[in-house]
Structure 1
Amino acid sequence: MTSRRLIGLVAVAATATALGACSPANSGAGADGKSTYTIGLVLPQGDKYFQGIQDGLKAAAKADGNEIVVVNTNNDASTEASQVQNLIQRKVNAIVMQPATSSAGSVATMKSVTAAHIPLICFGNCTDQAADPSIVKGVAQSDNTALGTGTGDVAAKYIKAKLGGKAVVGMLNCDSFEVCKLRKAGFKDALAKAGVQVQYVADQEGFLPDKATPIATNMLSANPNINLMWSANEGGTIGIVTAVKNSRKSIPVFGTDISDELARHLQDSNNILQATTGQDAQGTAEKAYAQVIKAIKGEANSPLELLVPGITFDRANPDGISKYLAG
């Protein structure tokens, strides 16, 4: 999840009764006589992760003769509300959505979809009402605990192999978002289960690169014994890498999320960023699409929530990094 991506938690819904009472408003028939559907996709931004979501849904829809209508809210709740209303007026058969701001900020918009009897699937980061079965017909999102665990497993091996089994750790968090707390818990749990000795000497909020860098710089200055650092999101990871590089210290960094910039840091000869675990856009798109088709047909998604494991990118496995950068 990028720092911008963190700004969002979303959801969607519709009632099975309403779906059973009438056929989908915008359904048609393909050449083979099967029903075809128009599905709205609401994205909070257009980075590589969300492009992956869009590409994955479009590919799945095209194979079935369906259409995906994409809108981008630019992380703005008012834009989100107006664009969702446009999709409602268009009478799409369903909406797949990640919120522009937070579950609370998007609840009114989500409920407007429910009131229009349009099934809505939450993808990405769905908590609280964004995952409420009275509002959504399905949830497909990253297993945020596993995002932390994935990186933690690699960090534990590094600590055993290169730090004598002991680490003094500095962390940048984004704990104002519930999903980030899960990531941190996963990371710490992986180290605990690995049996390494860890002392956490600093844990501060910093998830935007320009703000994370000075925070991490001050953290290193105040705690000169830190020999390993971790961040809960992309912005914080970039900030730590920059701070370590500027400090000229040899401190390994472990992060969360993946982007072209982070992938290039993993390839950099400075050997700072060691591993990071990113969200699986393709896996999320596949699960969200399967859920939305069932919801359109009036079938229940059971379980309601599907968790998607992340993908860990490790400096020690350069092929995976190159493949990611190649798209």
Structure 2
Amino acid sequence: MYHRKQSRRASRRLALSASAALTIAGTALLSTAAVAADTPKTIEFIPSSNATPYFLQEYEGVKKAAAKYGYRTIFQAPSVSVHVSKQIGMVYTAVTRHVDGIILVPYSPTALLPPVKKAMAANIPVIATDSTLTPMKAVSFTGVPNEKAAAAVARFAANAVHGKGEYAIIDYNLSTTSGRARKKGFKEEMAKHPGMKFAGIQISHSLPEKAMKEATTMLERNPNINVIFGANDRSALGVAQAVKRMHLENKVTVVGFDADLGEIDYIKSGVIKASVLQSPITMGETAVDMLHQVFTGKKADVPKYKPLPYHLVTSKNYSSPESVKAIQQYIKDYKN
């Protein structure tokens, strides 16, 4: 009898101990969950180059929107856009680091597919900006309609030379979808002007000095060129420098895409006659907003493509309120 009572007491003590252990364990699990819930999400921005002013401004938009939601941000990018293998490695590293979301400017629409697929499989949503993927395996893509925007600046250039002459293109690359689209849009619009002949294309790899050398060589070899399109900010800047050094401002119509302070100065002085301005800050903000929708269970509301506006700034309209507002997307404190 005594042993049975002692056994029952021991069983009750064991039960109480087990209950206490479960309570403690439950508290620990709840605490861990609470800590996890309180940990801010991290978004990694991986553009194709850290030397392009456009992407630095896009990151300003990323940080601005992330602060609104209490998210943390990381910036990683190759030193030059041709280092696609480095960009691929950066995406894989972001997956290993278990970031919560990735904003990617893919240098190659196909080479970046494997790491993007791995991120998506790990429940890390990816938003592509500026350039897209082929096929589009990210959650969404946001950017300007590059073909349409390039066609607009081509139309301006053709009209400026009365539809007669020869034109050349200094593209930043033909690997990204944006680089290809800008060339395509520009050439297709020029084809509508029978008096305009295509004189050739060179690649700058977003290096102004390379763009300047390429433009100089083309103009020396073919004096009939009267239009050159610099397909991004670095390319247009190099072309403008070449035209300025050769004193051809009144003979060659330079048009571009994007802008930095140097380009704006060339637009004001008339060396660059027009440039398509995107919205880099808005692009970064839009990408973060879409990630926020995914994080909050609204992925179904995120469109596969979110088009962004563009503005054609010229040597005649640069002081207009619309142009000043567009320039401020690139140069925060810009005032005319």
TM surpasses 0.5: yes
Please tell me whether residue 39 in structure 1 is matched to residue 61 in structure 2. no
SS in 2 for 1:60: helix
Aligned residues: 285
Partner of 1:287: 286
Kept after mapping to 2: 8 A contact 1:169/1:200? yes
C-alpha separation between the residues in 1 aligned to 2:230 and 2:84?
Answer: 27
Q: How does 1:19-30 map to 2 (within 5 A)?
A: 28-29=37-38
Aligned residues of 1:25 and 1:92 also touching (Cα < 8 A): no
Q: 1:84/1:232 Cα in 2 relative to 1: closer, same or farther (>3 Å)?
A: closer
Matching residue within 58, 64, 77 for 1:53:
58
The question of whether the paired residues in 1 share the 8 Å contact of 2:170 and 2:215 is answered with no
**Which residue in 1 is equivalent to 2:174?**
176
| C-alpha displacement of 1:108 | 2.7
1:216 has 2:225 as partner: no
Identical pairs, percent: 23
Q: How far off is 1:189 after superposition?
A: 4.7
Does the residue aligned with 2:259 lie in a helix, a strand or coil?
Answer: coil
Q: What residue in structure 2 maps to residue 4 of structure 1?
A: none
1:108 alignment partner, SS class: helix
Which residues in structure 2 correspond to 1:81-230 (within 5 Å)?
81-99=88-106, 101-129=107-135, 131-132=136-137, 136-159=138-161, 165-174=162-171, 176-177=174-175, 178-190=177-189, 198-207=195-204, 208-230=207-229
Answer whether contact 1:26 1:37 (CA < 8 A) is retained: no
The answer to whether the 8 Å contact 1:169/1:230 transfers is: no
Using a 3 Å threshold, how does the CA distance of structure 1 residues 308 and 274 change in structure 2: closer, same or farther? same
Change (3 A) 1:267 1:222: same
Look up the SS of the partner of 1:57 in the other structure: helix
SS at match of 2:288: helix
Cα 1:190–1:122 change in 2 (3 A) is same
Whole-angstrom CA distance in 1 between matches of 2:34 and 2:108: 29
AA aligned to 1:57 is: V
Q: TM-score, normalised by structure 1?
A: 0.74
2:26 is matched with: none
Higher relative contact order (CA 8 A, sep 6+): 1
* Aligned residue runs from structure 1 range 249-264, under 5 A: 249=248, 250=250, 251-264=252-265
Which one-letter code corresponds to 1:172 in the other structure? I
TM-score (norm 2): 0.72
Cα distance in 2 between the residues matched to 1:26 and 1:82: 30
- Tell me, what secondary structure is at the counterpart of 2:44? strand
Q: Residue 243 of structure 2 corresponds to which residue in structure 1? A: 244
CA distance in 1, matches of 2:200, 2:181: 15
Whichever residue aligns with residue 248 of structure 1, its letter is H
Is the alpha carbon distance of 1:259 and 1:37 closer, same or farther for their aligned partners in structure 2, counting shifts above 3 Å? same
Structure label with greater radius of gyration: 2
Change (3 A) 1:191 1:170: closer
> What letter is aligned with 1:220?
L
The alignment partner of 1:244 has SS state of helix
Are 2:71 and 1:66 aligned? yes
Describe the SS at the equivalent of 2:312: strand
Instruction: Give, in whole Å, the separation in 2 of the partners of 1:43 and 1:25.
Output: 33
* CA root-mean-square deviation: 3.0
Q: Quick one: structure 1 residues 167 and 111, their matched pair in 2 at CA, closer, same or farther if it must change by over 3 Å?
A: same
**Counterpart position of 1:300:** 300
The residue type paired with residue 62 of structure 1 is A
Residue 82 (structure 1) shift:
4.8
- Where in structure 1 are there 5+ consecutive unaligned residues? 1-23, 31-35, 160-164
Partner Cα distance (1:83, 1:138) in 2: 20
Whole-angstrom distance in 1 between the partners of 2:139 and 2:34:
18
Aligned residue identity for 1:238: L
Change in Cα spacing, 1:40 to 1:157, as seen in structure 2 (3 Å) is same
Unaligned runs of 5+ in 2: 1-32
Seen in structure 2, the aligned counterparts of structure 1 residues 128 and 201 have a Cα distance that, compared at 3 Å, is closer
Q: Distance in 2 between matches of 1:56 and 1:179?
A: 20
